[in-house]
C-alpha cells in the first residue's frame, strides 16, 4: 500500500451505538493512514479519539473499499459498526439506498432502512480454527479456557462467553487476559453475554486493539451466532450493549447486522499535527 503525506486532511467523526470512528475519505488519491497516524489521531487527549479509524478507498468492483485501524495502530479485518456508518455516508453522497463495499473479507452489501438505521451483511461466520485463527485445533464451541468460551471469526477473531450477569463482569481485568491468550496468535476480541430471552442478549465487549468499547458490531454478530449454536437463542437476536441496541439476523446469505448511525462532526487535521508524525 502506498501512503501520501498529507498536509491538510479532512475527516468525519461518527458513531454507531457509541462505537466511535474517525473516517478519512481517500477516494481518488493514495491511502494516508499509517500505524503512527492511527495512534496519534486515536489519542483522546492529543488527537480526536476513536475506537476505529476507517479509511475509504476506491474499488474496481464495488461502490468503495474500506480499511480499518484500531486506536493502538493495529489493523482490523472487519468492523461492523464502522461499515454501517461509512456506508450511510457513501450512500448519501451517491444518492443511493444501498451500496456494495470491499473489505479484506470480500464484497459486502449495506442498505438504509426506512427508519434510518443501516444494515450490512457481514458474511458467513468462520467456524474453522484456522480461519479465526486459533494457534491449534480446538473444540470451537467449548474452548479449553476458563469461562467455556466459543471461538468464531467474522473477518476478525472473537472469543464469546456466556455468563449469568454480563453487568458485573470486570471487563478491564478479564478482557486483556483473553485478548492475549496464546490460543489466539493474532489476539482476539472478547465478548461477555447473558441471555435475557430466546431473542434477546445483554452483551459487553473488550475489543482487540481498543479495549472497552460501548458496542462492537462484529462482536454482536459473533455473540448471536455463538448463542444460536449453543442452543440459547433463535437466529434473530436483539443485543443490548453499553452504548445502544443492535440487531443480528443470521440468514442463509450471511449474518446481517442492523443498528443506528450518528454523524458527530467534521474537521481537518492541522498541518502541524500531521507534520509531527513524519
Ligand X SMILES: N[C@@H](CCC[C@H](N)C(=O)O)C(=O)O
Q: Annotated catalytic residue: which of 79, 85, 159, 221?
A: 79
State the residue for C-alpha cell 464469546. Answer: 160
| DSSP-based three-state secondary structure for 157 | strand
* Binding map of ligand X across residues 3-42, x = CB under 6 A, - = no contact: ----------------x-----------------------
Does residue number 103 form part of the binding site for ligand X (CB under 6 A)?
A: no
Active site residue 216: yes
Q: Which of 37, 79, 86, 118 lies at the binding interface for ligand X (CB under 6 A)?
A: 79
- Using CA atoms, how far apart are residues 180 and 253, in angstroms rounded to an integer? 32
Please indicate if the annotation marks 102 as binding a ligand: no
Please indicate if the annotation marks 156 as binding a ligand: yes
Does residue number 87 form part of the binding site for ligand X (CB under 6 A)?
A: no
Does residue number 117 form part of the binding site for ligand X (CB under 6 A)?
A: no
Q: Cβ of residue 19: shortest distance to ligand X, in angstroms?
A: 5
Contacts to ligand X from residues 144-203, by CB under 6 A: 156, 189
Please indicate if the annotation marks 77 as binding a ligand: no
Does residue number 80 form part of the binding site for ligand X (CB under 6 A)?
A: yes
Q: Which residue from 222, 202, 205, 245 is spatially nearest to 156, judged by alpha carbons?
A: 222
Beta strands in the chain (DSSP E): 9-16, 19-25, 52-57, 64-70, 75-76, 98-103, 106-112, 118-121, 150-153, 157-162, 189-197, 200-207, 211-213, 236-241, 244-251, 254-259, 262-269
Does residue number 258 form part of the binding site for ligand X (CB under 6 A)?
A: no
Do the beta carbons of residue 205 and residue 172 sit within 8 Å? no
Binding site for ligand X (CB under 6 A): 19, 51-52, 70, 76, 78-81, 156, 189, 207-210, 213, 216-218
- Give me the active site residues, please: 79, 216
Amino acid at each position: 500500500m502506498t501512503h501520501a503525506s498529507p498536509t491538510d486532511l479532512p475527516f468525519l467523526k461518527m458513531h454507531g451505538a457509541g462505537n466511535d470512528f474517525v473516517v478519512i475519505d481517500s477516494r481518488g488519491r493514495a491511502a494516508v493512514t499509517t500505524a503512527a497516524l492511527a495512534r496519534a489521531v486515536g489519542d483522546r487527549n492529543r488527537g480526536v479519539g476513536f475506537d476505529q479509524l476507517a479509511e475509504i478507498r476506491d474499488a474496481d468492483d464495488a461502490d468503495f473499499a474500506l480499511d480499518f485501524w484500531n486506536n493502538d495502530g493495529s489493523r482490523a479485518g472487519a468492523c461492523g459498526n464502522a461499515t454501517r456508518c461509512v456506508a450511510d455516508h457513501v450512500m448519501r453522497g451517491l444518492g443511493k439506498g444501498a451500496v456494495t463495499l470491499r473489505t479484506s473479507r470480500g464484497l459486502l452489501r449495506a442498505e438504509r432502512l426506512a427508519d434510518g438505521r443501516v444494515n450490512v451483511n457481514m458474511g458467513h461466520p468462520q467456524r474453522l480454527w484456522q480461519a479465526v485463527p486459533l494457534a491449534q485445533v480446538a473444540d470451537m464451541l467449548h474452548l479449553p479456557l476458563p469461562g467455556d468460551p466459543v471461538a468464531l471469526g467474522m473477518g476478525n477473531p472473537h472469543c464469546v462467553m456466556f455468563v449469568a450477569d454480563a453487568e458485573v463482569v470486570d471487563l478491564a481485568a478479564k478482557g486483556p487476559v483473553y485478548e492475549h491468550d496464546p490460543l489466539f496468535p493474532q489476539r482476539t476480541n472478547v465478548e461477555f453475554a447473558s441471555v435475557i430471552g430466546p431473542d434477546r442478549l445483554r452483551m459487553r465487549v473488550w475489543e482487540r486493539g481498543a479495549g472497552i468499547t460501548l458496542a462492537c458490531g462484529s462482536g454482536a454478530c459473533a455473540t448471536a451466532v455463538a448463542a444460536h449454536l449453543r442452543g440459547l437463542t433463535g437466529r434473530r437476536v436483539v443485543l443490548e450493549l453499553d452504548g445502544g441496541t443492535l440487531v443480528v439476523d443470521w440468514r442463509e446469505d450471511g449474518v446481517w447486522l442492523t443498528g443506528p448511525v450518528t454523524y458527530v462532526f467534521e474537521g481537518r487535521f492541522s498541518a502541524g499535527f500531521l507534520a509531527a508524525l513524519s
